[in-house]
Chain A
Amino acid sequence: MKPPPFEYHGPRDLGEALETLAAVGAHGKVLAGGQSLIPMLNMRLAAPAHLVDINRLAALAVVRETPAGVTVGALARHSEVARCGAHPLLAQALRLVAHPVIRNRGTVVGSLVHADPAAELPAVLAVLDGSVRLASVGGDGVPTDSVRRDGVQKDGVPRGGVRRDGVQRDGVPRDGGGGVVALPAGTAVRDVPAREFFTGPMESAARPGELAVSAHFPALGARTGTAFREVARRHGDYALAGVCAVVRLDEDLHIDAARVACIGVGPVPVVVDVSGVCERRPAVSVDWPAVAAAVRERTDPEGDVHASPVYRLHLVGVLAEQALREAAREAAA
């Protein structure tokens, strides 16, 4: 369980990171918290020729809360995001993510890009209709910081060496789209909504050469509550099935809008809008079996060594009802 050979890059700033990623293209992989990538490397399930370590890019370790929502930079660790309690649903989800030592290293954006269909954070992004900001530069510049995995620098070029384009190292902060991460001039940026971002199990819309610099989780409106319920085999494990819910009440405290995102029951988080099934009723008089049925209808879980498809299908309905009721309670509080 040792990784196959790869070239290690330790860029000192974002511009250098983007150039390195552009240069290595499809052969590169970004190392952030490493909580999934490193085991995959060690088990030789992944064999990228280049590893681009973004851990020196302190500018990415940011969380910003605005009235529009919470934007999380690519180097913000789960534990930091949880501590600042920026977004209620994010906080609820992070309590279910693994264990403290993993949360201290793992990053929110890394988890999104990893796109595990049983992970909590993609579901949060999906149910909130959030987005991921992907940044890249064109061209095929030469990476300036090639370090072998044994720590020996390969080409003797000083770390953070001269930039080809002569752009100021610290870059110029961009302020478009609520971005919290300052991007160098000339950086190409696209904001991909969650529904387009998750393309399959462990597959996202991020293209070779792109770095997910931040993710945006839209704020909740008034009289809106959230909840995350899941069943995992052990504390902190990936869920057998899980549901996060967002419920908005109208002024009479009837359910105005209700959405869930389900994990572990499809190739990507399955978002189901059950507003219609809730029929603008108060939570107590909603036809919950019908809600559960509507959710089950949209999911197609697979079986594995931990649970059968039938059980997962059963669970997702149970959890949807529990999460929606809890979210409705919270919205009313």
Chain B
Amino acid sequence: MSVLEFTSLVWAGSFFAGLLGALTGLGGGVVVVPLLTLVFGVDIRYAIGASLVSVIATSSGAASAYVEEGYTNIRIGIFLEIATTLGAVFGAFLAIRMHTSLLAIIFGIVLIHSAYLSLRRRRDRSGDDRIDAMAARLRLDGSFPEPQGRRSYHVHAVPAGFGLMFSAGTISGLLGIGSGAVKVLAMDHFMRIPFKVSTTTSNFMIGVTASASVGIYLSRGYVDPGLAMPVMLGVLTGALLGARILVTAKTRLLRLIFSMVIFLLAVEMIYNGLTGRI
């Protein structure tokens, strides 16, 4: 296979990863890394470097629209970014010291967990009107636009959310994925933020989180331009198309199919890790 053929195939695969990632809300990174390692036989370190770059592109692209529409809570975002960026730097330091087989096994486990989180029906726990002292001090409470006008909400359990965000950052830095599922879990379940705000604010934070670890990967030589180029452009175009058709498509069935694919990829990653092939 020549470089031209390889680049074209990687672009096409990344395009589908971005499309599926956008349609299901899981993000492109969780498919790109297994795709590159299992299908194209790329070393997992190059795969993580390329995936992180594509994660920055898609999250920044999507976040730009959400911020302008007023859904994103910038204060919650930047405050929790302290935790996610610290976690990301920690994750990258772990990754560069860890054996690639172990990395593949952890990746598989996280994949299964992400698929589970995305299939579970999300419960909106917002609507608790009590005021949390810490959230008030940090001015995290906010409002977002709804057809009937702006709806305000209160933020809760700030330390628990902050702690879980550190884990989300570590996973992102370790495996080169956005780890939006964990970020959303922290905000939905613990901090009791409304869906629209937690989803968009998670997206807002993913780019900064990925930037915090990608610098470490860049300086270690994990970011290869020839590989990152088709991955980034493919995932980005796929995600853009996905965002367009999201409005009309029935996502429940798609989510189920996608979760099955992810589960199979996860098993294969774990198997390859255990047998030392990755």
On whether the two chains bind one another, the answer is no
